[in-house]
Structure 1
Amino acid sequence: MDPLRSLTRSRVASMIDHTLLKPEATTNDVDALISEAQELGVLAICVSPSMLPVKAEGLVVATVAGFPSGKHQSLVKGVEARMAVEAGAVEVDMVIDVGRALAGDFDAVLQDILIVREAVGMKTVLKVIIESAALPDEAVVRVCEVARTAGADFVKTSTGFHPAGGATVHAIELMAQTVGGQLGIKASGGIRTAEAAQAMIAAGATRLGLSSSRGVLDGFAD
């Protein structure tokens, strides 16, 4: 059977990080996000580190580091990530310095990821946001390889805040060809329909970062 034919609402929900990273988000907004996540039966919530700790029974708690620009000192990213873990996060999505990748300085990208990896420990799930829409294919491949070398658990397409755009099927395919089966692959940024989510999963995504989770899930049958 075609595995995509078995994409039920509950199966897709089990792949979703229900996300709220808007700078204007309030505590009430986060509480509403958690309630909606619990109602929808998604895997995780992803909120800004300043909103932690949270009470999110039955949900994985994820956060971000160096978000959204990635232009933070690596040690600052590491401290931010460690503080978030101490406040209850079990997954951290860190942003690389995209400019370093564009310049071909992949040693700097490696060190950046390694510092955050060391800061959060091996029990924390580390996702590396590569901002794929801003990178040429060759750099996407190299950053994915570097993330694997650094001990990341996932590579992730996008912050959702970059003007170059968010997740694309092409980027997911490229990432899957490079590290599929070795690292998880998170598609994030601009996924607002069931059709878009299905296309990302077909291309190799194993996790979805969504702010429109309800609308996406409503397109799948139970």
Structure 2
Amino acid sequence: MNAYEAARLIDISAVRTHHGLKDIQEVVDIAKKYKFINVHALPSWTKTVAELLKDEPDIYVGGPAGFPGGGHCTEIKVMEAKRLVEDGAQEIDVVMNVGKLKSDEYDYVENELKEVLSVIPSNILTKVIIEINCLTDEEMLKACELVIASGADFVKTGTGWVPAPLDLDRIRKIKDFTKGRIKLKVAGGIRTKEDFLAMVDMGVERFGIGTKSALEIVQSFE
């Protein structure tokens, strides 16, 4: 694997509360230089990111719906997803209502995801964030089952807002459980080239990595 191939597996972002135009411009510039596959920003910045990347067809515009907690009313998530599409998002990461999942309200969770995904055109990649750092193994696999049923393209492990050490065994459990039925994006706690390559070997298709660590990992392949 070379630096370009590594970058094409990594989403970088500016999605913290304090991130403003300067931060977004910096992340976009880094993405352009190294050809990271995606730049995520909070929804009010989606149009800005789309404008900054208008001459970069191979770098996609990402945005979240229901971020970061996932506890928004379904109608709000639907409105947010529609607006992201209007503003130029090419990939949308939807946060599952984890509280409803943990309350065994599985029909609510699945129906909400289907409703949100129904307003997103099929050419836009969809990922559902299940926040595994809040879940038991049993809940984690149930969440994966519901995401598969929803028709999303990816399960995503976390928002990066619930810190915990990276647990490769749990990533392996997800890959073993999903058995190719859905793709996996791992986000949160990825710091080293070794962990990155271990997950590539497991078949993980996408990564959400903090910009500093993403740069270090990609540069290590140069």
**TM-based fold match above 0.5:** yes
Letter in 1 for 2:137: D
Question: For 1:34 and 1:205, how far apart are their aligned partners in 2?
Answer: 24
CA distance 1:16–1:130, shift in 2 (3 Å): same
Tell me the C-alpha RMSD between the 2 structures. Answer: 1.5
Question: For 2:89 and 2:120, how far apart are their aligned partners in 1?
Answer: 10
Question: For 1:170 and 1:70, how far apart are their aligned partners in 2?
Answer: 25
Cα deviations across residues 143-179 of structure 1 (Å, max 9, x unaligned)? 111111111000000001015x265312221221222
Letter in 2 for 1:60: Y
Question: For 2:123 and 2:178, how far apart are their aligned partners in 1?
Answer: 20
Contact conserved, 1:71 with 1:97, CA < 8 A, in 2? yes
Question: For 1:172 and 1:186, how far apart are their aligned partners in 2?
Answer: 10
1:127-166 mapped onto 2 (5 Å cutoff)? 127-163=127-163, 165=164
Q: Which residue of 2 aligns with 1:20?
A: 14
Question: For 2:75 and 2:129, how far apart are their aligned partners in 1?
Answer: 17
Matched, 1:39 2:33: yes
Question: For 1:8 and 1:216, how far apart are their aligned partners in 2?
Answer: 11
Question: For 1:14 and 1:183, how far apart are their aligned partners in 2?
Answer: 19
- Consecutive aligned runs of 4 or more in structure 1 exceeding 6 Å deviation: none
Question: For 1:127 and 1:167, how far apart are their aligned partners in 2?
Answer: 20
Contact conserved, 2:46 with 2:62, CA < 8 A, in 1? no
1:1-222 mapped onto 2 (5 Å cutoff)? 7-53=1-47, 54=49, 55-56=52-53, 57-58=56-57, 59-163=59-163, 165=164, 167-211=166-210, 212-221=213-222
Runs of at least 5 residues in structure 2 that lack an aligned partner in the other structure: none
Contact conserved, 1:169 with 1:203, CA < 8 A, in 2? no
CA distance 1:158–1:167, shift in 2 (3 Å): farther
How far did 1:111 drift?
Answer: 1.3
Contact conserved, 1:132 with 1:167, CA < 8 A, in 2? no
Runs of at least 5 residues in structure 1 that lack an aligned partner in the other structure: 1-6
Contact conserved, 2:130 with 2:140, CA < 8 A, in 1? yes
Question: For 1:19 and 1:194, how far apart are their aligned partners in 2?
Answer: 19
State the TM-score, normalized to the length of structure 2.
0.91
State the TM-score, normalized to the length of structure 1.
0.91
How far did 1:196 drift?
Answer: 2.1
Per mean C-alpha deviation after superposition, the further-off stretch among 127-136 and 96-105 is 96-105
Percent of paired sites with the same residue:
31
Contact conserved, 1:166 with 1:188, CA < 8 A, in 2? no
Count the aligned residue pairs: 214
Letter in 1 for 2:19: A
CA distance 1:125–1:167, shift in 2 (3 Å): farther
